Structure 1
């Protein structure tokens, strides 16, 4: 693991130099495009959701030009480090492990709850088979809980797994799961909510401190004037505010 961190750090130095020399005020915003309401592709084929609105406003306040890029979740950090885009804004919780490889702005979403969704309120979660998306804080939590973890590449695959009975439940951000619980006659929340992570921030290469500072300052102005809370209310109703 130490060698991985060293390799990604060296890549980050090169990529950061490329950003400073070649991109000017254009920032490529990397997102998954498959995790509503945080990010998704709308009917017009464009990135939409909370993070599209937050990202566009952050760029406007930082006097940067945003270009949106989609990338599969399981390679989203390596492709930031290698220079395929300049930020990650993809519902990514700030964790110590991730912070060893990339840097984060201050959070633009406070810590939010995760939850279990399954077909039985009486399910013994400690002995269950639980689905989670690969590389998430939810997957790490399930692995440490003693339950059997089954990982999937995309959020939709985790929902399909619990719907078709392949797993007993799925653990994910509650904001993501609420629509599925509301629309299903068979799926329901199980047990207590699970607080995980330190909030959601924008990921940047460790070699891009100037970009991080600009994004941090813009996020702070959105917190100060209340506009960030308004976007959270719009997209994540009932979630904690700043």
Structure 2
């Protein structure tokens, strides 16, 4: 009888441990096409600033990260439907998005958006401006009076400028900077920088309050010990905006 009870207790303990292990696994949803925030490396793995930030946040929150990629235009619907547990994909915190999902505090401070064109004389007010679908930049262009040309990916917006479909691309300046540098003078910044959004945060389902609190605490600890600023400088350069 004692052996049976012991075996039963062992099964229950093992089951609880497995349930615990499963409960601590968090699926991190990202795009994988927005360097240096996130991209797929030569091994086909998620890499970049947000991979390092996400892994460190999970470690501090005592969670296990699993990385999932998803196309940008359906990244919020696939969060709310349960295909993953967070969005960590260069997503700016906006009132419109907060009507559908929750955000943690920002892990990247509010930064500038900018225009890039083939020449500095591009018509930004009455011309055709490319932007990625579903971004705050696309919304800004739509309200600016210029003609908005939307694409599913960041790379397509830049290609539209290069092939003459668009006069300029409007996107996060931090994403555009390496593109301009690597273009060898083919592309250039033009016009004034535009501050948009409340910084970048992790998106979560509105029902996941406990998970949001864990990530908020981890983000706070990274801000306090300077490790978040270190990663920002590592991926975006010495001139990048950091937390004070």
Q: Secondary structure at the match of 2:104?
A: strand
Runs of 4+ deviating beyond 6 Å = none
- Give the Cα separation in 2 of the matches to 1:219 and 1:232: 13
Q: 1:47: Cα distance to partner?
A: 0.3
Q: Secondary structure at the match of 1:241?
A: coil
Task: Report the counterpart of residue 207 of structure 2 in structure 1.
Answer: 207
Q: Which runs of 5+ in 1 are unaligned?
A: 1-19
Matched, 1:197 2:223: no
- Give the Cα separation in 2 of the matches to 1:44 and 1:21: 31
Matched, 1:92 2:99: no
- Give the Cα separation in 1 of the matches to 2:155 and 2:72: 12
Q: Which runs of 5+ in 2 are unaligned?
A: 1-18
Task: Report the counterpart of residue 70 of structure 1 in structure 2.
Answer: 69
Q: Secondary structure at the match of 1:126?
A: coil
Task: Report the counterpart of residue 150 of structure 2 in structure 1.
Answer: 151
Deviations 1:153-203 (A, max 9, x none): 011100110011111000001111112211223211011111111000000
The number of equivalent residue pairs is 223
TM-score by length of 2: 0.89
- Give the Cα separation in 2 of the matches to 1:97 and 1:176: 23
- Give the Cα separation in 1 of the matches to 2:133 and 2:149: 9
TM-score by length of 1: 0.90
Q: 1:65: Cα distance to partner?
A: 0.3
Q: Please, what is the CA RMSD of the aligned residues? A: 1.4
Deviations 1:58-78 (A, max 9, x none): 000000000000000000000
Q: Secondary structure at the match of 1:101?
A: coil
Larger radius of gyration, structure 1 or 2? 2
Residues 164 and 45 (structure 1 numbering): CA distance in 2 closer, same or farther, change over 3 Å? Answer: same
